[in-house]
Copies of this chain bind each other. A is one copy, B any other.
């Protein structure tokens, strides 16, 4: 296996010149550069990652901590991992995968062994034990999710408050005079993932501002029975409004519950988009694929992950920008989009 010494010999230059051709950290004359590049090609030379890391103290690796076992949304994990991985490669880095099961010690291991230059922590919970450890590391850490106390760390997440507002306002605009929010499964609530509170809190606030009554039913498990019961509760509360000819709008906070909610409505002879409206937190693709297509506020994990990659390399490549840099808490919230599909009805005079 050829080394940079072999390349240097073949190109008739010193070894350091090979290094500089590769790193571009020094101006190189055209003839020399050409000879070196030819030699590299001819020998199919690849720089040894370990040696590079040792000498340069940059591994060109990003550690990605994935909550395999305990994800609130296992389906959303894969696009996330994919986007981080390919985004990271575009920045000439690789991804080292670590399971969250390893706990906080995974972080000290990654840092201590110099396995990576930065760490991405997925699905950070409101009160996540890893945050304290993460805050003490010398490698930059990027959190996906917003903990209660970000401790000077950089966070990226979907803007769940904006999402809730979007859903509520979208329904209010269309004349609905009673709202119901069907919440997250107990697992998510107990683990107290930050977005649960942010979402329901913002939904209630938006409804209050709009002067529209709003029921929150939570937790709602992803079972047919739980969906039935939750729907029943909202319908009961909304009964007076409905009797008076008002419109009921449902906000489904947990994408996985959507099919169950739809069938629960169906069982009662209620047609979404005609008798009630349903707006759900769902990726666009899933929302569009449903029968009928469901109005949704997008929860594109790809959008969030792309943003995460961007902020990650801003952390790594910076300082240099005039942005906030180095130690300051920054929370980047990715804006969601509302798309009305077949499950939104319009009530009364357009508003």
Contact = CB atoms under 8 A, between A and B. Distances in A.
A86 B112 contact: no
15 contacts: A1-B112, A1-B114, A44-B112, A45-B112, A46-B108, A49-B50, A49-B113, A53-B53, A54-B54, A68-B78, A75-B75, A85-B99, A89-B98, A94-B96, A96-B97
Contacts of A85: 66, 68, 97-99
A240 interface: no
B109 A82 contact: no
Nearest to A58: B50
A98 B114 CA distance: 20
Interface residues of A, number: 43
Interface of A: 1, 44-54, 59, 61, 64, 66, 68-69, 74-75, 77-78, 81-82, 85-86, 89, 94-99, 101-102, 108-109, 111-115, 138
Copies in the complex: 2
Contacts of A1: 112, 114, 138
Contacts of A109: 46
Contacts of A101: 86
B96 A95 contact: yes
Contacts of A50: 49-54, 59, 114
A49 B44 contact: no
A271 to B, nearest CB: 20
B97 A49 contact: no
A49 B99 contact: no
Nearest to A83: B68
Contacts of A112: 1, 44-46
A239 to B, nearest CB: 31
A113 B46 contact: yes
